[in-house]
Amino acid sequence: MVINKKVNNFGSCLLMKSGAASVTATTTMRNYHTTNSNKKVVPFLLADIGEGITKVEVVKWFIKEGDHIEQFQNVAEVMSDKANVEISSRFDGVVKRLCYNVGDIANVGAPLIEIEVADSTASPSSAGAATSSSSTVEVAKTTSTPSCAASSDIAEESFGKILTTPAVRRIARENNLDLTKVPATGRNGRVLKEDVLSYLENPTKQQSEKVAVPEQTSTATTTTSTPSTPTVGDRREPVRGLMRTMIRTMNAATKVPHFGYKDEVYVDNLMIIRSHLKKTAERQGVKLSYMPFIIKAVSLALKEYPILNSSLTEDESEIIYKGDHNIGVAMDTPNGLLVPNIKSVQNKSILEIAAELNRLQELGKQGKLGANDLKGGTFTLSNIGTIGGTYADPVLSIPEVCIGAIGMIKKTATFDAHNNVVPKHIMYMSWAADHRVVDGATMARFSNLWKEYLENPDNFIVALK
């Protein structure tokens, strides 16, 4: 699971290779053109956004062709497999061309847009251009640089027999359209946006043009067939962004031997304490749920059982005990499952944990969780009870060695020591741990201590320093 950070593209804007004195006018036209003597149109390259990202999906344009933009102004939002990033302009100028449609895949280092800038703005050091005579930079108005064209070709993906762009696939998906039925007019059989729109306007005509019906010869007998009911065709979608990260994480988890442990927690006393503190929290602008108590109880138990806040090195030669309790909370966001974490829980009060949880939840709803919110987790909790269900089998988030899934709270009839029926509120809990590092007895003792804090919240006061 959307993440947001601003990246200023201070990378070079490649115009022509240096030492290009012998380059012909035709070659020059493909890489560089001007509109008048004191302005240049330069390709604005998508800068490296870090963490080894090489491809991103264009999520949103904040500008359009013809707009005047300023330095540091946001021009686009892109999505990698780790974060959503707002790209800001390196130059002041006029947008001449957007190199991608929304939904296209853009390569880091490739042109993102073309901007008309003052001649002095795009210096050789920033644009990677060599000086040229005026005769070598003349260009026809209808000529366009191949920087965008090359980029759009990269963005097109072929699945099966259909060659088109993700943006066209999105239009087809929204209209329940099988692209195999659309006559393709693009290069190499590519289905263009115009093809889809034309088909949607008159599908019968398009279909008849696509398939030529041969003349039937007369036969002695005639046969009739019952029209078949149209069926919905298969659909393929590329795996991108956060889904790709989830696949990698889940594949890594399957290689680790882990075990599960489940228990029940009586939370009647916790419900009373929360009720008393809820108004105090509201006066401070904080929404207080059960999660801050659960998170703090985990941290207190981790002090006694630090092995559960550790990780195993890749060569399995060392165990790294983490100094901070950075407890992740799985969130169902518009961009998928994300696990931001609350940093240094061991140093935070319950209200401070609640405030930070509120902040992360709000950013998650807006799709603006930052990379710093998502990295550095040491322990994970997933609150499936808000959706439904009691027990679960959570999957480890490698390299963490433990994860907990919180089930719903149910009012249940129980028996006291004298066999009297006593209604109690029970919360269901499911743990999973890396069996290479954690044994079953340690997991059970950790869970018992965590459970003790929640069933007897007064113990929080004794444990806090």
- CA distance linking residue 449 with residue 9, whole number of Å: 50
Q: What percent of the chain has pLDDT over 90?
A: 44
Residues of the chain with CATH 3.30.559.10: 258-463
Nearest to 421 by CA among 432, 409, 433, 411: 411
Residue type, 13: C
Residues of the chain with CATH 4.10.320.10: 160-209
Residues of the chain with CATH 2.40.50.100: 5-155
Mean local confidence (pLDDT), 184-196: 76
In CATH, 5-155 is 2.40.50.100: yes
In CATH, 160-209 is 4.10.320.10: yes
User: Are 286 and 354 contacting, i.e. CB atoms less than 8 angstroms apart?
Assistant: yes
The CATH architecture to which 258-463 belongs is 2-Layer Sandwich (3.30)
Q: Reduce the secondary structure of 23-86 to three states and give it as a string.
A: CCHHHHHHHCEEEECCEEEEEEECCCCCCCCCEEEEEEECCCCCCEECCCCEEEEEECCCCEEE
- Split at pLDDT 50, 70, 90, the class of 157 is very low
- CA distance linking residue 33 with residue 29, whole number of Å: 6
Catalytic residues: 435, 439
Read off the pTM. 0.62
Which H helix or E strand runs over 267? none
Q: Given CA atoms 160, 164, 166, 172 in this order, what sign does their dihedral have?
A: negative
Q: Which residues pair with 451 in a beta bridge?
A: none
Q: What is the pLDDT of residues 91-112, one digit of tens each?
A: 899 999 999 998 888 888 899 9
3-class secondary-structure state, position 374: helix
Q: What is the pLDDT of residues 27-43, one digit of tens each?
A: 333 444 444 557 888 89
